[in-house]
Structure 1
Amino acid sequence: MQASPPKSGISPSGKTPGLLMGALCGVGAALAWAAGFAVAKHGISIGLTPADLAIHRYFWTGLLLIPLIVRDGVTDLGGVGWGRGFILAALSGPTQALVAYTGFIYVPFGHGTTIQPATAALAGIVLAAVLLKERLSASRVVGAATIIAGLVVFGIESFATIGTHGIGGDLLFATAGALWALFGILLRQWRVTGMRVAAAVGLMSVLVYSPIYFLFIGTENMLRFGWGENLLQIVVQGLVAGVLPIFLFARAVTLLGAGRASTFPALVPGFSLIIGFLALGIVPTIAQLIGLATVLVGFRFALR
């Protein structure tokens, strides 16, 4: 009598059926985030302001995701809670976006695409050790030190080629990364799911940021660039880089586990430079490539 196949979910090759799909989801999330960086840099280069980009990133998707809030309950902001929603929106919503987009005014594309995720990883290690009392392994210490070394390379290039305002631009991206790290720590502490957070942050942005933008900043500058450029920002910033990677990354965590999935954001700097070169013609400098390589080595140790 022929034995029945095993029910453990492992294929004859030794791989789980969802391994490839999980990897594709993780890579897709990293590509989506990288595309967001590239299109943001393009928007700043043609004259859109950080405030314009922030409204495209959060207002339209906020409207789109309102049905999720209604489905899960408006009284507690879709299960997130209004108090927590405000805090999470302050850390990951328009505030964080404004800081990051402003950085692109002062420093080259490669700085922002590496410094922000590198600082997020570095700050995440420190905050997890201090606030969550996670064990700080030797590998993480080496990874953190290597990431710092990579960030120093970018800082030296900024000071040598741009000047003190270049250091200011780098610090803006470092601040954006630190805000994102604190956002991630709170997500873990409060155990809030990705799509609920996206919906909550979107609605908070509609209620708080959009009135400030439309009443005091206005759409005059935005409308100068026509529907084509604005639609590009709405689709890429709001959907491709805003909602899509949250879903894909959450799916990768489900299929691969949090440990394996945590490696995919480390792909963002490399993907960003590739997209920046292919789509925008931005050629990274030798110093940027050295800094990127150093940071990626740091990621490798930090994510063990």
Structure 2
Amino acid sequence: MGLMGLTYGFLVALIWGAQPVVASFGYRASLDIFDLTVLRFAVSGLVMLPFFIKAGVRNAAGIGWSKALILLLLAGPLYNMVLVGGLHWAPASHSSLIYPAFTPLFTSLLAKLMLDKRDGIPMLGLSLLLLGVIVVKAGSILQPQSAAYAGAWRGDLLFMLAALMWSFYTVLMRRWNTNPLSVVSVIQVGGLLYVPVYFYFAGTSLFQLDANAIAVQAVYQGLLVSVISVLLFNLAVKQLGAKASMFTALMPIVGVSMAIVLLGETLTSSVLLGAVLISGGLFLSLTPVGK
């Protein structure tokens, strides 16, 4: 493997794995899911706007508006609200484990139904993913971290719903054979439609909150997660091929570690075991069949 390809992959895993932790810091600064969503798409939408205009507004960057609106519904502001909204009830460590575990499961099932093919998740990988989630959930019931997470099941369900939405988005992109960069531009620029709606209902109260917290969320969610990580992943794929997807297996380790160190979340035996099982399941699930 090339050194640069490995570097790109590790950076992607770091950015994606840290997302629940960074969003949790936003909550602690009194930002809510609507604030976090507008900061994300206001930045990413403006960054991708020149490409979108150049690619063609009339035909939605070559995708077609009917398809573009469906993709926007699945991966745009609503998706972000579902994913980030889960952190209102559940700890960041749960998001770091449950979302990466269910995404390949849902994607494999939907690919079989909608693409008439099987993506090939080995039975052992499938078993480890499900067992890891069960361990985490059993631990949260038997060893609750605190009263603050008494309703963690609500957040966990939202993480699962976000995984389902992203899986539909992924499978539809493949079914329609869309250009990845064009889709990114459509999603981010389309998210700008949420900005005036937000300010109509919320007014300018956002700007009365901590300016540093706003800047961190805008740069991280709007630039690093939405734009830079996607470009880094594409570069990793260019150098490493399909092996680049293996770095997704690092997300649970990155997310759980950062949640413990930076947020002070408790490292329970169930979370530790769940992280190991899910990471192993992801690695096996993302390994090409026959390799």
- TM-score (norm: length of structure 2): 0.90
Q: Determine if contact 2:76/2:191 at 8 Å carries over to the other structure.
A: yes
Does residue 227 of structure 1 match 2:211?
yes
3-state SS, counterpart of residue 65 of structure 1: helix
Q: Determine if contact 1:110/1:284 at 8 Å carries over to the other structure.
A: no
Q: Structure 1 202/136 Cα, relative in aligned 2: closer, same or farther at 3 Å?
A: closer
Does residue 157 of structure 1 match 2:139?
yes
Q: Determine if contact 1:125/1:144 at 8 Å carries over to the other structure.
A: no
Q: Which ranges of structure 2 fall in alignment gaps of 5 or more residues? A: none
Does residue 184 of structure 1 match 2:170?
yes
The residue that corresponds to 1:213 in the other structure is: 198
Deviation at 1:179, TM superposition (A): 0.9
Distance in 1 between the 2:273 and 2:122 partners? 21
Distance in 1 between the 2:119 and 2:241 partners? 20
The worse-fitting range, judged by mean Cα deviation, of 155-164 and 71-80 is: 155-164
Deviation at 1:296, TM superposition (A): 1.2
The residue that corresponds to 1:248 in the other structure is: 232
Q: What amino acid does structure 2 have at the position aligned with 1:203?
A: V
Q: What amino acid does structure 2 have at the position aligned with 1:239?
A: L
The residue that corresponds to 1:39 in the other structure is: 22
Q: Determine if contact 1:44/1:101 at 8 Å carries over to the other structure.
A: no
Distance in 1 between the 2:66 and 2:16 partners? 27
Distance in 2 between the 1:46 and 1:156 partners? 30
Distance in 1 between the 2:255 and 2:133 partners? 17
| Superposition map of 1:1-304 within 5 A | 19-135=2-118, 137=120, 140-160=122-142, 161=144, 165-207=151-193, 209-220=194-205, 222-258=206-242, 260-304=243-287
3-state SS, counterpart of residue 284 of structure 1: coil
Deviation by residue 1:222-257 (Cα, 9 ceiling, x = unmatched)? 223232110111001111111111101111111111
Q: What amino acid does structure 1 have at the position aligned with 2:178?
A: V
Q: Determine if contact 1:159/1:166 at 8 Å carries over to the other structure.
A: no
Deviation by residue 1:190-245 (Cα, 9 ceiling, x = unmatched)? 222332222111111112x222211123341x223232110111001111111111
- TM-score (norm: length of structure 1): 0.87
**Equivalent residue pairs, number:** 283
3-state SS, counterpart of residue 257 of structure 1: helix
Distance in 1 between the 2:40 and 2:204 partners? 15
Q: Percent same amino acid among aligned pairs?
A: 31
Q: Structure 1 165/276 Cα, relative in aligned 2: closer, same or farther at 3 Å?
A: closer
Distance in 2 between the 1:102 and 1:136 partners? 30
* RMSD between aligned residues: 1.9
Q: What amino acid does structure 2 have at the position aligned with 1:227?
A: A
Q: Determine if contact 2:249/2:280 at 8 Å carries over to the other structure.
A: no
Distance in 1 between the 2:221 and 2:212 partners? 14
Larger radius of gyration between Structure 1 and Structure 2: 1
Q: Structure 1 35/166 Cα, relative in aligned 2: closer, same or farther at 3 Å?
A: closer
Distance in 1 between the 2:197 and 2:267 partners? 36
